[in-house]
Every structure is written in C-alpha cells, then in structure tokens.
C-alpha cells in the first residue's frame, strides 16, 4: 500500500510539472514580494504618464477635433474624447509629431491663411485647420502641459527659433507680435521641445547621420534657448532597432556631441505579437529595461566630462516619448491615409502596457518622461466613430497608474516562478530577443506619506499566484484597496457598446502586521493601495 501511495505521488508530481509552460520551475511555497520603504530608486516624475497627438490618420481630425460632430464643443473638440482623456490624468502631451513633423512648417498652422499641404509621412492631405494655437486651446482645456517637436528634417534652425519666439516671447520681436495679432496676447510658455523626431531612421524625411544630426540639433537648440532660456531640450535618440542598425552607436554619438546642451534623450519602442505567442509577448517590457540601463550607462559616462550649459548637477534623463503595442496595423493600406494605424487592442496588449509602466517606475531615477503613442484612434487608448466612443483595453492600466502611482519608487525583492522564452521578434521590423528567467509576477511600487501603492502583473495565462506581501520596514495598517484589470480571456477586446476589459474596484481587505497574502488572478493587472506605518 505504501508503494502504491508513493507511485501515485510521483505520478501527480510528474503530471503537474509536465503541465507547466516551458521554463517554469515548480515551488511549494507562496511567491513573495518584500517591501522595504528605505530601499529607494528615485522619485516618480508625473511626466512618465504623458501622451501624444500627431497629425496622423484620425488622431486630430475625427479624433480630438471634429467640429461637424454633434458631440463637439464650441471649439470643435469632441467632448466625449475630452472627458475620456481627462480620465487618463495626462501631465504632458506631445505635438505635432512624430514623422509628420519632419516636413511640417508651423507657419502653415497659424493665422487666417491656412494652406493645404500634401502630407508625405502618412500620405494624406493636411488642411492645417488645427495648428499651434488650436492645440494650445485644447491642452489648456484638458489641463495638460504641451511638449512640442520642431522640424529638423526638412526644416531649418531658423524656423525652430522662430516657433519658440512665437510661443514663448511676450512682446517685441516680429513673431511674438504676430501671435498677438492672431488673438493670443499672452505667450504660451512651452517648456519642453524635442529637437526633431526619429532622425536615426531611414524612413524619416530629412534623415541625417549621427554627426550631422548632432550639429543641426546643437545649433537649433542654441538659438531656441537664446530665445527662451528656461526651455528643456530633448534630443532624438534611438528609434531604429532593426537588425541592420546600430542604435547604441547612435545614442553614444548623440550624448557625446550634445552632452552640454540637452536635458533628455528620447527613445522609442513598439512591440507586438505577430507570432501569437503569449509568453514571448508578455516578456517584451523587459527590453525597455535593458535599453534603459544601456543608455543610463552612457549618460553616466558622458556626465563625467560635461560642463553643462548652466553648471547644474542635473544629469541628462531618458524620455521614452513613444511607446506602445503596434503590429496589426503596420503594413500596406493600414499604414497610410485617413484610417491609418487603427489597432484594436485586447487584454494581452493591456498587460504588456502595464509591464512597460512598471519598467518606467522601476527606473524612476533616470526615466523622467514617457509618452504613449497616441491618444485617440491611432494606436490609441480611445477609439471613436462619428457619434460614439469606447475605451480600449490599454486605457485602463494607463489610467490606474496615472491616477495612483506617485512618490518614491521602491527597490523590491520579488521571488516567484519564472519561465524562458524562445528567440523571437519584438515586433514588425524589430530586432530579436530571447529572455530568460522571466518572472511571472511583474511588480513595481511607490511610497509617499505612509501610503504604499503596488502594481502587479500576473503574466501566467492559467494560474493564480498566491503571494505574501511582506513589509520589511514598518507594518501594514488599516485596509488595502484592490483594483483589477482583467477580462474573460487574453484575447478579450472592447468595442462600441461592449466592454469586456476594464478596471474593477474589488472589496477592500484588512491589513495588519508584517504580512498580507493575496492571490493574483491569471492574466491580470492588480493595483493595491494602503498604508505602511513605520
């Protein structure tokens, strides 16, 4: 009988192990998240929850702006889109591009004479009905700060300087007075300015090599800052991570050549799941951390040799000013025209976005800006028709983070089961990666005024993961608020009149002492909020 029981136990163990995903290790104990509020990474900058509006497809026209819609306000802005955008608590809104900006003359979009132009980046007609002042009206109504990109493709350094004069100088010189003639007596005082967009990409109009871009960016930045001394300048770092590119060499050159002038270096990433491999896809946010750490090392190296323009000790920071899931609408007719880049997102996309936001939090010491691309219709969290709107799956984690994750980022200890991936393409046109020891629990946390906020993605497709949350300093006190983003399955989508993935507020749980145990459901993002008293 003892032999029969032993054989049965061995058989159960073998079957259990065989059912695990590739690379997963089995453990009898609970997963653990250890929280020490004295182990800190850096302060979370609100600008990591930024967004992006480009003149592309239906992002501007038919998205934020649709004067013919019954849902438009007196300025032509969609009221339903505005309300949804306010729910994202957007601190910073990038404009007007993107690839669009590399053949854009800002003067076409001000005043009463608005010429129609052939838009070459996305192959559509640009009416210039919305320009600088209209966007600023929108930004003020939304309650967000603008972040402008200048044209360093086909544009000149003089055009860049004149735009800053138009927006930031109160009175006197020609373009400041021109703004006043256009009905805006007070300057817009735009603080953040990007020196071009994706200039390392061969697809960019006016594409330059690293040295030539650095020369042009340095001189443009010099004139822009002489015009408005307090602006912050963002250089175009790597966007081209294709197998035949050398993004590290580009970034190294930009940082070396511009180290005395810039405040940020911009990085871009788009990931996808074209092979429909869930576990590979779930690991893609880890690449953000890999690339962040490489560029952080470059920044640390050049900062030893910089005088900095104002002799401050502020380092150069990283701005992930384009990131998202984008692969379905990334070829052929889906790439151009008035309906370009209209991705329809599912739950697994929302979990990847959650992982990206976790990566920004875990690197809060150097990542001080991020902009999801884009706000509406074009690979966006908000999707419209002429008379309706719905929130895509990726809306919900972004809203949870942007409304809750602030304060000091904590360096957590996470102990859970892991898995390995195959070698796979990050997305269409991207390089490959192979990830090992990918934790099933992807976690970040912030601490402020005794309040702890923990964001947890359970990457496991099938299993809940029971986890001990352990306070190594202080104790849990009171109750914990629980919010969960989930859906019936990983392919669940939202649509007009149909919400399958959303944020649900669950019942609070009591928390007292050093340890709280919680089971994170499969394919979920959970936000836990409560007190740790020291």
Residue 322 designated active-site: yes
Structural tokens at position 82: 């505005």
Structural tokens at position 396: 């919900």
Eight-state DSSP code of residue 404? H
> Do residues 329 and 343 lie in contact, with contact meaning Cβ atoms separated by under 8 Å?
yes
Give the separation between CA 254 and CA 242, rounded to whole angstroms.
Answer: 19
> Do residues 285 and 356 lie in contact, with contact meaning Cβ atoms separated by under 8 Å?
yes
Q: Name the helix (H) or strand (E) containing 321.
A: strand 317-325
> Do residues 53 and 64 lie in contact, with contact meaning Cβ atoms separated by under 8 Å?
yes
Full strand arrangement of the beta sheet holding 502-510: 40-43, 408-410, 441-448, 451-458, 524-533, 475-486, 502-510
CA dihedral 294, 296, 298, 304 (to 10 degrees): -150
Residue 498 designated active-site: no
> Do residues 343 and 326 lie in contact, with contact meaning Cβ atoms separated by under 8 Å?
yes
> Do residues 509 and 518 lie in contact, with contact meaning Cβ atoms separated by under 8 Å?
yes
Give the separation between CA 51 and CA 71, rounded to whole angstroms.
Answer: 22
192-195 and 232-236 beta bridge pairing = parallel
> Do residues 530 and 518 lie in contact, with contact meaning Cβ atoms separated by under 8 Å?
no
The three-state secondary structure class of 193 is strand
Burial of 360 (0-12, 13-18, 19+ CB in 10 A): buried
Options 322, 343, 348, 430, the catalytic residue: 322
Options 54, 145, 198, 417, the catalytic residue: 198
Distance (Å) of CA 323 to CA 287, 320, 368, 379, 463: 12, 7, 14, 10, 29
Which residues are known catalytic residues? Answer: 198, 322
């Amino acid at each position: 009988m003892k032999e029969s029981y032993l054989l049965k136990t061995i058989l159960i163990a073998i079957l259990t192990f065989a059912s695990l995903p590739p690379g997963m290790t089995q453990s009898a104990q609970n997963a653990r998240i250890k929280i020490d509020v004295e182990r800190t990474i850096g302060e979370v900058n609100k600008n990591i929850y930024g967004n992006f509006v480009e003149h592309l497809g239906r992002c501007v026209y038919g998205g934020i702006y649709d004067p013919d819609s019954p849902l438009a306000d007196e300025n032509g802005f969609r009221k339903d889109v505005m309300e949804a955008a306010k729910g994202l608590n957007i601190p910073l809104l990038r404009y007007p591009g993107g690839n669009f900006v590399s053949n854009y003359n800002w003067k076409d979009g001000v005043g009463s004479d608005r010429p129609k132009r052939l838009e070459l980046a996305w192959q559509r007609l640009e009416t210039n009905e919305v320009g600088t002042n209209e966007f600023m009206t929108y930004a003020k109504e939304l309650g967000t700060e603008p972040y402008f990109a200048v044209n360093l493709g086909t544009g000149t350094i003089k055009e860049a300087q004149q735009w800053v004069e138009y927006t930031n100088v109160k009175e006197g010189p020609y373009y400041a007075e021109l703004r006043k003639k256009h009905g805006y007596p007070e300057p817009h005082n735009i603080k953040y300015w990007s020196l071009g967009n994706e200039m390392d990409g061969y697809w960019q109009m006016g594409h330059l090599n690293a040295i030539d871009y650095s020369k042009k960016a340095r001189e443009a930045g010099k004139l822009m800052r002489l015009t408005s001394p307090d602006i912050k300048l963002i250089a175009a770092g790597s966007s081209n991570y294709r197998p035949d590119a050398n993004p590290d060499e580009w970034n190294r050159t930009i940082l070396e050549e511009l180290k005395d002038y810039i405040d940020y270096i911009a990085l871009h990433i788009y990931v996808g799941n074209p092979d429909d491999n869930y576990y590979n896809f779930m690991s893609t946010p880890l690449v953000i951390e890999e690339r962040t750490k490489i560029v952080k090392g470059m920044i640390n190296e050049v900062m030893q040799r910089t005088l900095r323009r104002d002799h401050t000790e502020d380092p150069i920071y990283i701005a992930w000013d384009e990131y998202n899931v984008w692969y379905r609408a990334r070829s052929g007719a889906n790439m151009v025209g008035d309906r370009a880049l209209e991705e329809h997102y599912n739950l697994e996309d929302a979990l990847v976005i959650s992982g990206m936001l976790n990566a920004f939090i875990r690197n809060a010491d150097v990542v001080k800006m991020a902009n999801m691309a884009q706000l509406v219709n074009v690979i966006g969290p908000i999707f419209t028709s002429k008379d309706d709107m719905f929130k895509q799956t990726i809306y919900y984690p972004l809203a949870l983070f942007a409304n809750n994750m602030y304060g000091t980022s904590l360096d957590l200890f996470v102990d859970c089961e892991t898995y390995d991936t195959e070698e796979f393409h990050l997305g269409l046109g991207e390089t490959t990666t192979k990830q090992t020891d990918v934790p099933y629990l992807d976690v970040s946390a912030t601490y402020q005024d005794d309040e702890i906020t923990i964001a947890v993605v359970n990457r496991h497709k099938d299993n809940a993961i029971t986890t001990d949350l352990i306070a190594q300093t202080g104790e849990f006190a009171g109750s914990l608020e629980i919010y969960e983003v989930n859906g019936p399955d990983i392919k669940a989508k939202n649509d007009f009149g149909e919400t399958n993935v959303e944020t649900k507020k669950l019942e609070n749980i009591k928390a007292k002492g050093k340890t709280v145990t919680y089971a994170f459901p499969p394919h979920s993002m959970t936000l836990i909020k409560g007190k740790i008293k020291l």
